[in-house]
Amino acid sequence: MEFFKYQGTGNDFVILDGAESGPFLSAREIEALCERHTGVGADGVIFACAPTSGADAAMRIFNADGSEAEMCGNGIRCLARYLYERLGLAREEMLIETLAGIKALSLSVGDEGVDGVEVDMGLPELSAPGLPAPDDPARPGEVAVTMEGGEELRAFCLSMGNPHCVLFVEDAAKAPVPLVGPSLEKHAIFPGRTNVEFAQIDGTHRIILRVWERGVGETLACGTGACAAAVAAIHLGSCESPVEVRLPGGALGIRIDASGHVHMAGPAVEVFRGEISGAWAAETRPR
């Protein structure tokens, strides 16, 4: 079974061709494939599938714990490069179907192939299933979250096709991501769990960000998380579009157009290609 490994600002994925069969690995197999010591190692697995609508292709994205996500900003950029360079979809403008709707992508292509990808992430939602209601209806997105032990955190909750909980901190480097991240991910006010962003405002057009991803843990980058942090900061008046979001794995450019759509631009890099061995598959598949 051939696979390709891609990364976008350090967010890494195994990409498999699912055009004929759709997602063909079980949750257990996906989790084992993402394991960094005994598998390939990745933040998630992407299947390049046949679309059910008028899109050019479809993306099915699974987290490292085997759970399926609606959308992944870094992942969809990687998929676009894979489609262009490996599956022969030589279009600089693509439509990719996701569980969060169809996304439009623009590829920047140079002599060495795809240099970068911009994704129209659509409109952010401040009220969506799986998000808590705001404390004050006149201030959508703003929520007080009571943690176990009684501590109250101020958060900005929104959806970028998947749920996000943004916390603004003084110093992202010192933020208690491994402690607060998993507690918020599985907090009762998020019935489908949530991604958690720890955002430090570093000027009118810059955010320093760390992300605890739902079903993965802390990652080097998160595309939808970068969008969520930028939207929250702009909504609260702390930043203005465009915003450079600096993550441990690199920087992403986020801008909001006149219609309110969020656009994310960043790299997508092929790391290597390989073949999953029959011995690994036989050991991993349920008996």
Digit-coded pLDDT (tens) for 239-258: 999 999 999 999 999 999 99
Q: Are residues 194 and 215 in the same domain?
A: yes
Q: Are residues 216 and 279 in the same domain?
A: no
Q: Is 165 a catalytic residue?
A: no
Domain membership of residue 164 as a residue range: 142-259
For residue 96, pLDDT beyond 90:
yes
Look at residue 128 and tell me if it is in a domain. no
Look at residue 131 and tell me if it is in a domain. no
Residue of 72, 58, 80 whose CA lies nearest to 121: 72
Domain count, the chain: 2
The answer to whether the beta carbons of residues 31 and 68 sit under 8 Å apart is: no
Q: Are residues 118 and 155 in the same domain?
A: no
Residue of 85, 77, 107, 61 whose CA lies nearest to 7: 77
Look at residue 277 and tell me if it is in a domain. yes
CB atoms within 10 A of CB 266: 25
For residue 198, pLDDT beyond 80:
yes
Look at residue 132 and tell me if it is in a domain. no
Q: Label residue 227 exposed, middle or buried (CB < 10 Å: 0-12, 13-18, 19+).
A: buried
Q: Are residues 9 and 116 in the same domain?
A: yes
Q: Are residues 116 and 205 in the same domain?
A: no
How does pLDDT run across 157-196, given as a tens digit for each residue? 999 999 999 999 999 999 999 999 999 999 999 999 999 9
The answer to whether the beta carbons of residues 61 and 30 sit under 8 Å apart is: no
For residue 280, pLDDT beyond 90:
no
The answer to whether the beta carbons of residues 221 and 7 sit under 8 Å apart is: no
Q: Are residues 152 and 251 in the same domain?
A: yes
Q: Are residues 253 and 275 in the same domain?
A: no
- What interhelical angle do 73-85 and 223-235 show, nearest 10? 130
Look at residue 130 and tell me if it is in a domain. no
Q: CA 81, 85, 87, 93: dihedral to nearest 10 degrees?
A: 50
How does pLDDT run across 118-128, given as a tens digit for each residue? 999 999 999 98
Structure tokens that stand for 94 in this block: 């693509």
The sign of the torsion formed by the CA atoms of 52, 98, 64, 274 equals: positive
Q: Which of 49, 78, 165, 222 is catalytic?
A: 222
For residue 287, pLDDT beyond 70:
no
Q: Are residues 60 and 169 in the same domain?
A: no
Look at residue 117 and tell me if it is in a domain. yes
Q: Is 222 a catalytic residue?
A: yes
Q: Are residues 158 and 195 in the same domain?
A: yes
Mean pLDDT of 74-82: 98
Q: Are residues 254 and 148 in the same domain?
A: yes
CA distance 45 to 31: 9
CA distance 79 to 71: 12
Look at residue 231 and tell me if it is in a domain. yes
pLDDT score at 84? 97
SS3 234: helix
Q: Which of 72, 78, 157, 165 is catalytic?
A: 72
* CA 34 to centroid of chain Cα atoms: 16
State the pTM of this model.
0.95
Strand partners, 46: 15, 61
Look at residue 155 and tell me if it is in a domain. yes
Give me the numbers of helices (H) and strands (E) for the chain, helices first please. Answer: 5, 18
What CATH number does the domain containing 207 carry?
Answer: 3.10.310.10
Percent pLDDT > 70 in the chain is: 99
pLDDT score at 1? 86
Percent pLDDT > 90 in the chain is: 91
